[in-house]
Amino acid sequence: MGQQIVECIPNFSEGRRLEVVDRIVGAIQAVPGVTLLDRSSDHDHNRSVLTFIGEPPAVEQAAFAAIQMAAGLIDLDKHKGEHPRLGAADVVPFVPISGMTMDDCIAMAKRLGKRVGEELNIPVYLYEKAATRPERENLENIRRGEYEALKQAIGVDPAREPDFGPASVGKAGATVIGARPPLIAYNVYLTTGDVSIANRIARAVRHSSGGLRFVKALGLLVEGKAQVSMNLTDYSHTSIARVVEFIRREARRYGTGIDHCELIGLIPQTALVDAAQWYLQLDQFEHDQILESQLQNASAQTALPSEDFLNALAAGTATPGGGSAAAYSGAMAAALVGMVARLTIGKKKYAQVQDRMQEIAALADAARAHLAQAVAEDAAAFDAVMAAFRLPKGSDEEISIRRAAIQTATQAAAEAPLRVAGLAADVAEWAAEAAESANANAITDAASAAAMAHASVHASGLNVRINAASIDDQAAAQAWLARLEEFHQRAERCLGRVQDALRDRADLS
């Protein structure tokens, strides 16, 4: 299995105070390894949708940080908007992207739900694939009556008992967390301000009322126009084109039409290609006929290393810095190990180590991918610390939020290089083994790999130590330092093994 990538698309009940949305975004971006792909805010809905991806632990932490930030900044007792809502962080779905199963996302939803309930004292309901009750699979069932109805029913009606957290709500309301396949949030604006027409069309198009499969819809009044607001939960079976044409036909019944359409968040490219194929009647169309797809494939096959990273490293900016260079050194060490292993595979003289060299090549490739990603993660971790220090510190609440953000960002800034050091120690082990038993003609390459891996461990350790000294949780800091010492000793031993191999196999003592 390759690198695990998961997507999170949290919806927050704030679309008017963009400074609040900025702080929620900041909490997400403070977590290394997370990439924000999109943000969308709507004034009339009074709602924002954020989209970010990364490896599961980072995404899970970023989701928690965003929920925590939203809970401190959004008061549902004061919130008004067109879109139904239950909480400050209203709904938080996880979507498997690469190397992930739906079961993995369900486990993430449950872990996050338990943590939010226990640490933030917010009621949590699990929905879609993570639902613990059949009636909670559909979000609209959980959100029926919205925040106001939940306040009256929770703790009284057994059907409103949360999956995690207290049977009571504060100003942050409740949060719905789940796992689901990708969906498309798509709105159609009509050439009328009569919202009753939008309601009738929504009733006709949504599956629960007898309409199209995999379509959820409701009618709203937005910007003076009637809007059919939809979630398309499986575009591969019910395409956007089919939905839009259905609405166009229904609108004509009421003497109106489509003014324009709106996409909320991101959309899979395949969905747009399918719509184009449908409208243009390209029955024999193949996806590899798209020029940009072919260019991208060609670029991937012919791409050569560039000096972009080295130029960025030499620039007069704080990032990328020593931590990124440490990760880069580890990635190059892993690449050399893979090279030595492949120069051994297929050689009769080394038949006895063929299987092991294949294993080492695969391990080195995976480590190289993670270390290459860590180049950017280290820079992002440092940027997040700086962003936390720039948070406002006027009121007591702001000081508390700022301090918590600094501690969270500093902890992440220590854990990122610690992961690099651990991977680099692994690479050093494989390099030493390659020096001892792989193709002797490449022994100096294996030795170079061990030296670069050792440098990666040492350089990463400098960042771990300086951040460990700044963290309040000194028990965690001491645990980091203990692991770092273990990695350093392993790398040192590997250098000794390489020196012995050089003396015994190449007479380069």
DSSP result, 463-486: HHHHHHTT-S-HHHHHHHHHHHHH
Task: Please tell me the predicted confidence (pLDDT) of residue 304.
Answer: 43
Q: In 3-state terms, what secondary structure has residue 218? A: strand
Q: Tell me the C-alpha to C-alpha distance, in Å, between residue 397 and each of 27, 29, 116, 402, 509.
A: 16, 21, 20, 9, 63
Instruction: Answer whether residue 287 shows pLDDT above 80.
Output: no
Q: What type of residue is 49?
A: V
- The per-residue pLDDT for range 354-392, each reduced to its tens digit, is 889 988 988 888 888 888 878 878 888 888 888 888 888
Burial of 234 (0-12, 13-18, 19+ CB in 10 A): middle
Q: What does the pLDDT look like over 173-223, one tens digit per residue? A: 999 999 998 889 899 999 999 999 999 999 999 999 999 999 999 999 998
Of 218, 267, 266, nearest to 239 by C-alpha is 267
Please give the CATH number for the structural domain made up of 319-506: 1.20.120.680
For 253, residues 6+ apart whose C-beta sits below 8 A from its C-beta are none
Options 3.30.450.20, 3.30.990.10, 1.10.240.10, 3.90.1580.10; CATH for 5-179 is 3.30.990.10
Average pLDDT over residues 462-467: 92
pLDDT band at residue 509, thresholds of 50, 70 and 90? very low
Find the range with the poorest average confidence among 318-322, 422-426, 444-448.
Answer: 318-322
Q: Is the pLDDT of residue 234 over 90?
A: no
Residue burial 302-321, b: 16+ Cβ < 10 Å; e: rest: eeeeeeebeeebeeeeebbe
**Percent of the chain with pLDDT strictly greater than 90:** 62
Highest mean pLDDT, choosing among 234-238, 323-327, 448-452, 472-476: 448-452
Segment 220-235 mean pLDDT: 92
**409 Rama class: left (phi>0) / alpha (psi -120 to 50) / beta:** alpha
Cβ neighbours for 269, distance < 8 A, ≥ 6 positions apart? none
CB neighbourhood size of 263 (10 A): 15
Residues labelled as active-site residues: 83, 378
Residues 137-144: what's their mean pLDDT? 91
pLDDT tens digit sequence for 18-55: 999 999 999 998 887 888 888 889 898 999 999 999 88
φ, ψ of residue 219 in degrees (nearest 5): -95, 135
CA distance 359 to 357: 5
Alpha-carbon span 476 to 488, nearest angstrom: 18
Would the pLDDT of 296 be above 70?
no
Model pLDDT for residues 143-171, shown as the tens digit of each residue: 999 999 999 999 999 999 999 999 999 99
Q: Would you put residue 80 in left (φ > 0), alpha (ψ -120 to 50) or beta?
A: beta
Mean pLDDT of the chain: 89
Confidence of residue 441 (pLDDT cuts 50, 70, 90): very high
Q: What pLDDT band is residue 273 in, cutting at 50, 70 and 90?
A: confident
Give the confidence band of 255 by pLDDT, cuts at 50, 70, 90: very high
**From CA 432, how far away is CA 279, in angstroms rounded?**
60
Delimit the domains of the chain by residue range. Answer: 5-179, 184-282, 319-506
Percentage helix, strand, coil for the chain under 3-state DSSP, each rounded to 5:
60, 15, 25
CA distances for 255 relative to 62, 110, 227, 347, 403, angstroms:
47, 48, 15, 77, 58
> Lowest-pLDDT range, 52-56, 373-377, 421-425, 467-471?
373-377
Burial of 161 (0-12, 13-18, 19+ CB in 10 A): middle
393 vs 106, more confident: 106
Say how many CA atoms lie within 13 Å of 93 toward its Cβ: 21
Tokens matching residue 469? 């000294």
Q: What is the rounded CA–CA span in Å between residue 210 and residue 196?
A: 18
With a cut of 50, say whether residue 1 has pLDDT above it: no
In DSSP notation, 424-471 reads HHHHHHHHHHHHHHS-GGGHHHHHHHHHHHHHHHHHHHHHHHHHHTT-
Cα distance between residue 408 and residue 405, in whole Å? 5
74, pLDDT greater than 70: yes
Class level of CATH domain 184-282: alpha beta
Q: Is the pLDDT of residue 256 over 90?
A: yes
Higher pLDDT, 383 or 272: 272
